Structure 1
Amino acid sequence: MKKTLILFLGCISLITLTRAQGIDRSSFIKDSLDVYINRALTNWRIPGVAVCIVKDDKVVLMKGYGVKELGLANKVDENTLFMIGSNTKAFTATALAMLQEEKKLSLDDNVTKYLPGFKLENKAAGEQAIIRDLLCHRLGFKTFQGDFTFYNTDLTRQQIIEKLGHIKAAYPFRSRWGYTNAAFLTAGEIIPRVSGKSWEAYLKDNIFAPLGMTNTLALTADMPKSFNRTVPHTLIDDRLTAIPYAQLDGIAPAGSISSSVNDMSKWVMAQLNLGKVGTKQVIPMGAIQATREPQDVVGSIRHLNGETNYELYGLGWFLQDYSGHRLIMHDGGVNGYVSSVTLDPQDHLGIIILTNTDQNAFYEALRWEIIDAYLKKPYFNYSDAYLSFFKASIAREQKINKTLRDSVALNLPTAMPVVNYTGKYYNELYGNMVITQGENNDLEARFEHHTKMFVRLQPLGGNRFYATFSDPVFGKTVFPFTFQGGKITSVKIKVADFVEADPYEFKKIN
């Protein structure tokens, strides 16, 4: 009760302070941000957050809040590692732009010049695709198309690139923007062909080490070995729970880096100074500028404060207009983590926010609160606004799952004996899945390339089963089976939209 009251009174004083200041919100960062963040940790149920603000070549704030793992007293500090997910993409794009500056490649070179085996289902598109296409998501795929096959699997990088060539693109080549993680992997695999170093070694030698990012890890396999690291968390049946680290090294150039706000501050400082660290040009200015050139239209965004702005994509960066300021930004999300990196070059402002639960939008709310403070815009309290949307979404999801659990409890008969659903299934892109009979009338599905994951299938009656993935990131859903001639012929597999939006049809082969 006391703690809640203190946070509530702190919030009241924060709002009163900013209103009294009118448009002068310069003291929000110094006087009120700690209260704002600590209140949000409680309201959002976030174990730990790390925040860094860089302004005019100085670190204004660099601080950890909360704990590395729920239930333990290990506090987050400025050197604590978080997975940064797709904020990795800017590093990959910058590395390739650096190689362009060294005349070792051109971003307009055909992909097949360096990866002769690269193919797309659209043969002409595969032959015409250039490195730039890979780095700005314009191959014609839907956002996240194919990611169930590629995300957190045991597939090698080469296997993922080969499988990418079997996906039928949803749109004509270069006609639509669609976020494609496997394209960034493909781009990253060009680096060893021209530099003689693996993607991870090139980043370490040419970006991490020169910038002094001594604690940053390129590969997810190294995260559990680190001493000062967070643990990922998610909500399982409305309980915040620690979960295993995602294994993303097969698709590393798209999202495998782990870093701290201290290390990331050095990356952001270099970005704001067009590649310079002091008087030394660590990253060529031309490489920085190349990643910020608009390549494709993402769409328009309506902000909570009422503004409607454009959103473009450069190379590894989103480009957005906000109140007459050009923002360069990216978010990152993997199992148990979401983060954001934002650059406002016009105001020489950089913001880094790292969190160790994937069930929050506070990282986004905080970004806008900080930007608004520096742009002297009125206080909005984005955290509460985002939290309201988040709670409503969770409530809808819980209602759907309760309805499905209630249906399971009715013990409705299946269309055929449960044993008939067992057997081996195959999807042309993914590969094999095996369904076996578990306890009672439950089934269990296991996937060839997700060796540590299984799916519990509970009858809903007829040909439908309630599916619960053992890896909570993949969600809970319904698997419908199809019949022909009195036999089961296939099943549609659907995972959480966070992974991939469209279902996969697995055909029964025995």
Structure 2
Amino acid sequence: MGAIWQRRALAGFMLGVAAFTLPASADGLAEVEIDTLVTSALQEFDTPGMSVAIVEDGKVTFLKGYGSRDLEAKKPVTPKTLFRLASTTKAFTAAALAILVDEGKIGWNDKVTDHLPTFRMKDPWVTDAFTVRDLLTHHSGLWNGAGDMLLWPEPSSFTAAEIVASLATFEPLTSFRSSYAYNNVLYIAAGELVAAVSGVPYADFVERRILKPLGIACYWGPVPAKALKDAAVGYDMVDGKLMPHVRNGIDRNPTASVAAGGGVCNAEGMAKWMVAQLDGTHAPFSEKQRDEMWASQALLPLSKRMQEIDGTAFRAYGLGWRLADVNGVKTVSHTGTLGGWQAYVMLVPSKNLGIALFNNGSHEYARQSVMQGLLKSWLAPDEKRDWVAWYAAEEAKEEAEAKAKQWPEPEVLPLTRPLAIYAGSYVDDVMGDVTVTLQDEQLEIAFARMPALKGTLTPIRDGLFRTVWTDPTAAGRIYVAFPSDAGGQVVALTLDNAAGAPNQADDYASRYFRRRSD
């Protein structure tokens, strides 16, 4: 939780916000109750602004913005304010494939290599068995987030083709289709498949075949200059203060990660998207394919919290959507998380209800508490609980537990070798070049293909250093090790998110940067 002065500043702004609204449904919360819920969540969880859309029975029943889309310019959030969708983009990628299935150009169970011949996994058998459906279901056998190092922190200079090609280098963590592990790169592969089959770039396909027919003024490619006037600024908490997350800002530059999480949209547009999903007869894809996207494909872990607060008995991943029962009712949803941005789209088919939330902060409990409060007003109206207070209490418990479980920092020992021996150029087959330089007795590191990954190296002991990034929002704590040969010559550079911690499976630990010859 942030500083008191920061919350007071946010509160003062939110109280004066004017927004366009439509009457709220009598089955949910009254508008004044929604106002109280949202403003309370924004203040508690250090979030500048939020946009809310609710649709019922094919109609928009609530559409409103809260707080600030730009703290410096003091601009309010409105239903037209553009936010980054992050992983709520994935449902659009699934929909693009569904359109091609409807047209008979692909099948969900077709081999990926039938349509994208360059697709490769490390294991040839897995490559041959990998289907279009598998691209969307997160059970590839890789570790959670495999390949994310090529996408974030933005900006990344890797192309979509290069990112997809990296899959061939990743050693699997589990057997194919045996367990769930979230993956963004496979959605980028899905976008490449859409382009290969349709002959149209993925972003253009989504805009022409999904957004335009539905009248949605949102963007998968470059955002037009005239639309940027409605763009929000994303924020992160840095050293107790809300700071603009400039790297992840909305601009005219498309990202290679667009099929996984690069869509830009607003509450007005997402309301139309939810109506089309729930209606099923006026969408760009058939009702049959809509139902296929909403069908269970891979089981998801079920937490004790979900069982206790929602009575959840099942949880699964569909095609671009998560599925679960809440208070005995099936829900179809997805969240989106990116530095400076949070999104949440929730569909309740049996009630013909859709709720979408977008905010320009980095605290997930802002969206969680608001969605929980709204959803429960339909599914458990007699259950009265202050969800903002509940999530604030959960946050306090989680922080205490995390501190108790935190893997200790490596012991700092005096250096016996000169810093100059580590300076040089290193190269990895996937991440490319990394340069380590010595400036005024300080080692500096820079990744050539990921411009935001640059900073200094703080010594821990001979051969082991901790990164201090120039941009503190670029990445978390990463340790850099310099293995030496028998003669003491530094031969490589390796990375680790938590030096010495057991059972680490992550992108950085999978890379090996060989030292280039001088």
Q: TM-score, normalised by structure 1?
A: 0.86
For the pair 1:373 / 2:377, whether they are aligned, the reply is yes
* Structure-2 change in CA distance of 1:458 and 1:146 (3 Å): same
Q: Does the 8 Å contact 2:146/2:185 carry over to 1? A: no
1:399 deviation in Å?
10
Of residues 253, 273, 280, the one that matches 1:267 is 273
Of residues 511, 515, 518, the one that matches 1:508 is 515
Matched AA of 2:339: N
Q: What is the alpha-carbon distance in structure 1 between the residues aligned to residue 382 and residue 97 of structure 2? A: 37
1:225 deviation in Å?
6.5
The correspondence of residues 350-369 of structure 1 with structure 2, limited to 5 A, is: 350-369=354-373
Show CA shifts across 1:247-291 (max 9, x none). Answer: 762122111101001100000011111142xxxx54321221121
Matched AA of 1:269: V
Q: What is the alpha-carbon distance in structure 1 between the residues aligned to residue 317 and residue 75 of structure 2? A: 38
Q: What is the alpha-carbon distance in structure 2 between the residues aligned to residue 436 and residue 393 of structure 1? A: 39
Q: Does the 8 Å contact 1:369/1:379 carry over to 2? A: no
Question: Alignment length, in residue pairs?
Answer: 482
1:109 deviation in Å?
1.1
RMSD: 3.1
1:480 deviation in Å?
3.8
Q: What is the alpha-carbon distance in structure 2 between the residues aligned to residue 469 and residue 392 of structure 1? A: 29
Q: What is the alpha-carbon distance in structure 2 between the residues aligned to residue 310 and residue 423 of structure 1? A: 52
* Structure-2 change in CA distance of 1:256 and 1:174 (3 Å): same
Runs of 4+ in 1 over 4 A off after TM superposition: 1-4, 220-225, 391-401, 495-503
Of residues 324, 331, 350, the one that matches 1:327 is 331
1:150 deviation in Å?
3.4
1:45 deviation in Å?
1.1
Matched AA of 1:240: L
1:360 deviation in Å?
3.4
Q: What is the alpha-carbon distance in structure 1 between the residues aligned to residue 342 and residue 310 of structure 2? A: 25
Q: What is the alpha-carbon distance in structure 2 between the residues aligned to residue 342 and residue 173 of structure 1? A: 29
Aligned to 1:121: 122
Q: What is the alpha-carbon distance in structure 2 between the residues aligned to residue 256 and residue 498 of structure 1? A: 25
Structure 1 spans left out of the alignment, 5+ residues: 8-24
Q: What is the alpha-carbon distance in structure 2 between the residues aligned to residue 223 and residue 389 of structure 1? A: 41
The correspondence of residues 188-337 of structure 1 with structure 2, limited to 5 A, is: 188-214=191-217, 216-219=218-221, 226-246=228-248, 249-276=255-282, 282-302=284-304, 303=306, 305=309, 307-337=311-341
Q: Does the 8 Å contact 1:445/1:456 carry over to 2? A: yes
Of residues 164, 167, 171, the one that matches 1:161 is 164
Structure 1, 464-473 or 284-293: larger mean CA deviation: 464-473
Show CA shifts across 1:109-166 (max 9, x none). Answer: 1111111121111011111211011011222112201211233321111111111111
1:397 deviation in Å?
7.8
Q: Does the 8 Å contact 1:147/1:499 carry over to 2? A: no
Q: Does the 8 Å contact 2:423/2:436 carry over to 1? A: yes
* Structure-2 change in CA distance of 1:434 and 1:393 (3 Å): farther
Q: What is the alpha-carbon distance in structure 2 between the residues aligned to residue 498 and residue 238 of structure 1? A: 30
Show CA shifts across 1:358-383 (max 9, x none). Answer: 23321122111111111114122222
1:350 deviation in Å?
0.7
The correspondence of residues 106-145 of structure 1 with structure 2, limited to 5 A, is: 106-145=107-146
1:236 deviation in Å?
1.8
| SS of alignment partner, residue 105 of structure 1 | coil
* Structure-2 change in CA distance of 1:82 and 1:116 (3 Å): same
For the pair 1:34 / 2:35, whether they are aligned, the reply is yes
1:331 deviation in Å?
0.6
| SS of alignment partner, residue 35 of structure 2 | helix
Matched AA of 1:210: P
Q: What is the alpha-carbon distance in structure 2 between the residues aligned to residue 150 and residue 484 of structure 1? A: 32
Aligned to 1:446: 446
The correspondence of residues 408-427 of structure 1 with structure 2, limited to 5 A, is: 413-427=414-428
Aligned to 1:344: 348
Matched AA of 2:345: V
Q: What is the alpha-carbon distance in structure 1 between the residues aligned to residue 506 and residue 65 of structure 2? A: 29
1:31 deviation in Å?
3.0
Show CA shifts across 1:59-116 (max 9, x none). Answer: 2221111111223310010000000011111001011111111112111111111111
* Structure-2 change in CA distance of 1:223 and 1:142 (3 Å): farther
| SS of alignment partner, residue 96 of structure 2 | helix
Q: What is the alpha-carbon distance in structure 2 between the residues aligned to residue 502 and residue 315 of structure 1? A: 29
1:310 deviation in Å?
2.0
* Structure-2 change in CA distance of 1:501 and 1:163 (3 Å): closer
Aligned to 1:15: none
Identity of aligned residues (%): 25
Q: What is the alpha-carbon distance in structure 2 between the residues aligned to residue 350 and residue 306 of structure 1? A: 18
Show CA shifts across 1:432-479 (max 9, x none). Answer: 21111234x432111121024313211234443231233414123433
For the pair 1:388 / 2:393, whether they are aligned, the reply is yes
Aligned to 2:188: 185
Matched AA of 1:424: S
* Structure-2 change in CA distance of 1:445 and 1:27 (3 Å): same
Q: Does the 8 Å contact 1:65/1:77 carry over to 2? A: yes
1:241 deviation in Å?
0.6
Q: What is the alpha-carbon distance in structure 2 between the residues aligned to residue 399 and residue 225 of structure 1? A: 47
1:306 deviation in Å?
6.5
Show CA shifts across 1:206-264 (max 9, x none). Answer: 110111102x0103666896110001111222221102243762122111101001100
Q: What is the alpha-carbon distance in structure 2 between the residues aligned to residue 425 and residue 501 of structure 1? A: 14
* Structure-2 change in CA distance of 1:187 and 1:224 (3 Å): farther
| SS of alignment partner, residue 475 of structure 1 | coil
1:332 deviation in Å?
0.7
Q: What is the alpha-carbon distance in structure 1 between the residues aligned to residue 226 and residue 122 of structure 2? A: 38
Show CA shifts across 1:313-343 (max 9, x none). Answer: 1110011111111110111112211111010
Q: TM-score, normalised by structure 2?
A: 0.85
Aligned to 2:90: 89
Q: What is the alpha-carbon distance in structure 1 between the residues aligned to residue 403 and residue 226 of structure 2? A: 32
Q: Does the 8 Å contact 2:494/2:509 carry over to 1? A: no
Matched AA of 2:64: K
Aligned to 1:17: none
| SS of alignment partner, residue 356 of structure 2 | strand
Matched AA of 1:148: M
| SS of alignment partner, residue 145 of structure 2 | coil
Q: What is the alpha-carbon distance in structure 2 between the residues aligned to residue 213 and residue 499 of structure 1? A: 37
Show CA shifts across 1:173-193 (max 9, x none). Answer: 222222111111111111122
Q: What is the alpha-carbon distance in structure 1 between the residues aligned to residue 110 and residue 392 of structure 2? A: 45
* Structure-2 change in CA distance of 1:306 and 1:230 (3 Å): closer
| SS of alignment partner, residue 119 of structure 2 | coil
Q: What is the alpha-carbon distance in structure 2 between the residues aligned to residue 498 and residue 339 of structure 1? A: 27
* Structure-2 change in CA distance of 1:225 and 1:156 (3 Å): farther
